[in-house]
């Protein structure tokens, strides 16, 4: 291959060619060739140059990047927890502080109330519904999604346990579920069992409210 052709191939591949400044010992004589210096391509006069920092910032703030949830939207996402207990043939619902782990004294209180009302105070079936759901999927988490999620949860539990009625513990002012779901069931409301543990004086009010259960037909 001719030396100039070889250098042209190397130049096309971006490989620099070097020649010795002085004869090398025991080396073949170097052929003197005209070295063509490759200049770095200059800026396109029709295309304005953008600093590297500006290019990097533009790439990080591109419109196709991962969307960021605005702070206001995140604040509107409801967060709540509901204790749901099947006990004594009734279904007990109590809104509790979000993320709070209920201790054994909570169920012991409900069992004591059920026994005092003449119910079967056997082993309660306890579940805790937490919103937002801890799932790996990207689901809607707004108020309507919360109502739909809790509504589906309650419907499935009512169908499973077929309770004699529903005992609403606490005011549940937020109304995280449609009250129409409770229409087929007898409803008795009283103070929150969660609050009763912290304010024992509320037990008297609960006892008065729940006496109506004794008067209901079996």
Question: Distance between CA 185 and CA 4 in Å, rounded?
Answer: 96
77-215: what CATH class?
alpha beta
Handedness of CA 181, 183, 186, 191 (dihedral sign): positive
Q: What is the pLDDT along the chain (218 residues), one digit of tens a residue?
A: 666 677 666 676 667 666 656 555 555 665 555 555 554 455 555 555 555 455 545 544 554 444 444 544 444 788 899 999 999 999 999 999 887 888 899 999 999 999 999 998 888 999 999 988 876 555 677 888 888 999 999 999 999 999 999 999 997 755 778 878 888 899 999 999 999 999 999 999 999 999 999 888 76
pTM strictly above 0.75: no
The ranges assigned to domains in the chain are 77-215
- State the pLDDT at residue 28: 61
- State the pLDDT at residue 102: 86
Question: Distance between CA 154 and CA 60 in Å, rounded?
Answer: 45
- State the pLDDT at residue 174: 58
DSSP string, 44-78: PTTS----HHHHHHHHHT-TTS-----HHHHHTS-
- State the pLDDT at residue 189: 94
Nearest to 93 by CA among 160, 176, 149: 176
The structure tokens listed for 46 are 């029709």
Q: With beta carbons less than 8 A apart as the criterion, state whether 106 and 94 touch.
A: no
């Amino acid at each position: 291959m001719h030396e100039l052709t070889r250098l042209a191939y190397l130049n096309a591949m971006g490989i620099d060619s070097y020649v010795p400044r002085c004869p090398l010992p025991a080396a073949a004589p170097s052929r003197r060739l005209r070295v063509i210096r490759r200049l770095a391509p200059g800026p396109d006069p029709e295309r304005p140059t953008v600093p590297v920092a500006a290019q990097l910032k533009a790439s990080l703030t591109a419109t196709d990047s991962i969307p960021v949830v605005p702070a206001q939207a995140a604040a509107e996402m409801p967060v709540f927890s509901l204790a749901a207990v099947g006990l004594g043939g009734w279904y007990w619902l109590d809104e509790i502080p979000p993320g709070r782990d209920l201790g054994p004294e909570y169920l012991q209180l409900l069992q004591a109330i059920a026994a005092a009302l003449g119910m079967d105070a056997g082993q309660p079936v306890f579940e805790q519904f937490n919103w937002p759901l801890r799932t790996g999927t990207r689901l809607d988490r707004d108020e309507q999604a919360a109502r739909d999620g809790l509504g589906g949860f309650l419907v499935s539990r009512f169908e499973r346990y077929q309770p004699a009625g529903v005992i609403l513990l606490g005011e549940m002012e937020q109304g995280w579920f449609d009250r129409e779901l409770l229409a087929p069931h007898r409803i008795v409301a009283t103070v929150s069992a969660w609050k009763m543990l912290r304010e024992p004086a509320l037990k008297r009010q609960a006892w008065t409210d729940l006496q109506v259960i004794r008067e209901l037909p079996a």
